[in-house]
Amino acid sequence: MAREKTAELLTVLQVLEELGGISRRTFYRWRELRLAPACIRLPNGELRVRRDVLNDCLAERAEGAAS
């Protein structure tokens, strides 16, 4: 049985950089409002975002995106 390649996991800092350098507070506010991409909470409490989830989230919010 072939094992699938795991998706790249981004740290919150990497996501902030990908989004043009937004502040950490803005990201966590977006999480409160359920506007941020879905996160994975690791056993140590840190958050990670799968790259494909981030890309999908950005595509959904693109201006002129099909509904």
Q: What mean pLDDT value characterizes the chain?
A: 90
Q: Which of 6-15, 26-35, 38-47, 57-66 has the lowest mean pLDDT?
A: 57-66
Say if residue 28's pLDDT is above 80. yes
pLDDT value at residue 3:
47
pLDDT value at residue 64:
75
Taking residues 6-29, report their average pLDDT: 94
DSSP code of residue 61: T
Say if residue 6's pLDDT is above 90. no
Rg (CA), the chain: 13
